Amino acid sequence: MSRMDPRYSVLFEPVRIGPVTAPNRFYQVPHCTGIADRAPADVAAMREMKAMGGWGVVCTENIEISQDADISPYPALRFSSDTDIARQARMADLVHKHGALAGAELAHMGLYSANRTSRRPSIGPSSRLLIEAIEPVQARAMDKADIRTLRQDHRAAALRAKAAGFDIIYVYASHNLSIASHFLARRFNDRSDEYGGNLENRARLLRELLEDTKDAVGDRCAVALRFAVEEFLGPDGLTHDGEGAEVVELLKDLPDLWDVNLSDWSNDSQTARFSQEGYQEPFVRFVKQITGKPVVGVGRFTSPDTMVSQIRRGVLDFIGAARPSIADPFLPLKIAEGRIDDIRECIGCNICLSCENSFVPIRCTQNPTMMEEGRAGWHPEIMPARRSDDRVLIVGGGPAGLECALSLARRGHHVTLAEARDSFGGRVSREAALPGIAAWGRVRDYRLGQLAKLPNVELYPGSRMEVADILGFGAARVVIATGAEWRRGPMARDGRSGVEFTCPILTPDDIMDGLCPKGRILVHDTEGGYIGGLIAEKLRLSGAEVIFSTPAMSHSGFLSLTLEQDRVLRRLTSLGVELIAGRDLAGVSEGEALLVSKLGGPVLECRIDHLVLVADRIPQDGLATQLLSDRNRLTEASIQSVVPVGDCVAPGLIAHAIYAAHRLARLF
């Protein structure tokens, strides 16, 4: 076994946090799971995997402290009753089994708590419309009795967390999602009593919650403050060089640990398209200059060199991570064992967040075992041994083919992977060449790097396989992973084909293949994912005049789930891309496109030189269909099975293709 590079030893030093000691500097900060109390055993199994993988601190997601902290339909854990103790203790026990500390993030989300299930009135520092609620509902302004009740509820929840065995208890004032942060914010707090007005008054509730929590559990548990030092709202919010820093100064040595980040959630969890590793440093590095308590921060850290730099330069004491710990629960252990090349790096796609925002268990593009640890018994680093000696031929070296090859080879099968193009990666390579998402190439690079280490794998790029080639190859089992191609014609989500076009149609495949037409280009997006905006940006950067239209009422709707829709549209607008929403493409002829408003009104006539249509994708399942059409021929060739997988079955996200291939390999 390789040994750890001594440069990284600082990452494995124990660090004292109040009355407890973390075994190392790897800290899984609180993050959501998409299911929470709907499946507590599955959540606990996922957190245990992090502790098993070497994370020294493993935290929960939000834990509601009372019935008027109800954020449904978003799932959350609960400490609103003593009956909740045993359910949450399961996670703490499993984390402790591997020597890690367990952290519990107590939360009342104030103006975000619509109380749809509890049906209690929402509360806040002042009467305000609820933030991001669809319903036209306002919170009522809290009186002194309400504040006392809130403090009592928080204290009771802290005692329950202590009884459940948690080592670190959080006071939450971050992401614009906390009642404490709403009291801090002048835009939400117009009180004239001792809880409003100047900053010291607006911070009074936060101070009291910290003091209450320390008084209740500080004898055995550390008390952490999760605080956003920058809101990017200028004078309307906290800034890292203004009131954000003043709050740190006011409370500097009160918590046992500062967990610092950015608000709102879209700023804290920026995608790779808009940020690099360590992007939060300019905003949080001042905190350690003020407080003598340990500081944890995040920044999509995957490089041990970057981590060490953060520690050595006095930026952080702990390397915080949510998404990197999802992509690779065993990241710390791999550094400790000198296996840096084996780290499965986060690509910053925010598919995990899209699941939380869809109220389903989180998934990960890089790690297909995420949230399957408990319900399916999947381990991210261990595959079950093969149950036969069957040789496997995989046709197609995109994400599904690469994942299937790696997973089957880890099971012990002899695997041959054939790819028609001269290089592997498929859609991953093509999409990663679009503006800003080069990090997505890690999906390809990780799998190729792992395959290169295995003696039972043969890789053949530039090898197009036809039916006769497959029949004569001699493999007992065949997997077809031939992907999908973008439709070269109109097709709406409701299945309507629209109108006939009398001009050539370009597709995202054409642009990703290197075609960059000039002039005035209409990119019409009926898919609503991330590709339309990326194609528009690429064409604009190449010098074209671009119109980006969609029949939806807003562009790239899926990106609202990954928390980057606003950023994408701002980026396109800043580049000079014209945005048109809520219009169907009614007709296209040479030099002109007709866009009809869904709300009525006149037809919009657009002069264009080219049309790029982002519709749906056509599964390239012809090879699988031909093979499966003649079972006798397969029998004669001693082929026991032919299984299509990934986009050639059902086009979707890269994460879907990876998961389908991994599942196939496990069930082989």
Q: What are phi and psi of 477, to 5 degrees?
A: -130, 140
Enter the tokens of residue 295.
């500081």
Q: What are phi and psi of 413, to 5 degrees?
A: -75, 150
Enter the tokens of residue 511.
């642009």
What is the C-alpha separation between 502 and 568, in angstroms, rounded? 31
What dihedral do alpha carbons 512, 557, 174, 154 form, nearest 10°?
-140
Q: Which residue type does 60 have? A: T
- Find, among 436, 433, 438, 386, the residue nearest to 412 by Cα: 386
Find the catalytic residue in 175, 524, 656, 662. Answer: 175
610-614 and 520-525 beta bridge pairing: parallel
Residue 134 carries which DSSP code? S
What is the C-alpha separation between 153 and 170, in angstroms, rounded? 14
Strands (E), 608-652: 610-614, 617-619, 641-644
Furthest C-alpha separation in the chain: 86
32 has catalytic annotation: yes
What is the C-alpha separation between 668 and 403, in angstroms, rounded? 13
Radius of gyration of the chain (CA): 27
Helix (H, G, I), strand (E, B) or coil at 160: helix
Query: Which parts of 561-653 fold into alpha helices (H)?
Result: 565-575, 622-628, 631-636
- Among all chains, which residue has been given the structure tokens 């093509």? 430
Burial classification of residue 564, based on how many CB atoms lie within 10 Å of its CB (0-12 exposed, 13-18 middle, 19 or more buried): buried
What is the C-alpha separation between 60 and 361, in angstroms, rounded? 15
Helix (H, G, I), strand (E, B) or coil at 327: helix
What is the C-alpha separation between 325 and 346, in angstroms, rounded? 8
For 46, the enclosing helix (H) or strand (E) is helix 40-52
For 579, the enclosing helix (H) or strand (E) is strand 578-581
Find the catalytic residue in 172, 195, 446, 659. Answer: 172
State how far Cα 653 lies from the chain centre: 13
Enter the tokens of residue 243.
């009131």
Find the catalytic residue in 31, 32, 317, 349. Answer: 32
What is the C-alpha separation between 504 and 591, in angstroms, rounded? 11
Q: Which residue type does 570 have? A: R
For 656, the enclosing helix (H) or strand (E) is helix 654-666
The sheet carrying 604-607 orders its strands as 583-589, 592-597, 604-607
143 has catalytic annotation: no
DSSP characters over 395-427: E--SHHHHHHHHHHHHHT--EEEE-SSSSS-TH
172 has catalytic annotation: yes
146 has catalytic annotation: no
Find the catalytic residue in 84, 167, 268, 525. Answer: 268
Active site residues: 32, 172, 175, 268
